[in-house]
Structure 1
Amino acid sequence: MNKEIKSLLLALLPKGHQNPVAGRVIDETLDLKERERKLVIEQLRNDGILVLADENGYYLASNIEEIKKFVAKVNKRVKSEIRTIQTAKAVIKEAETRGAGQLSLPLDDMMDKLFGA
Structure 2
Amino acid sequence: MEHEKDVQTLSDWLNNHLKRTIIIKKHELDDTDEVHFTVTEVDIRSEDNAIDDYVESSLILHGEGSTSNADGDNVPLPQNTYEIALHDLRIDHIDDTHVKLNTERAQYALTAK
TM-score normalised over the length of structure 2: 0.24
Point out the structure with the larger helix share. 1
* Greater relative CO (CA pairs within 8 A, separation 6+): 2
Which of structures 1 and 2 has the bigger CA Rg? 1
Point out the structure with the larger strand share. 2
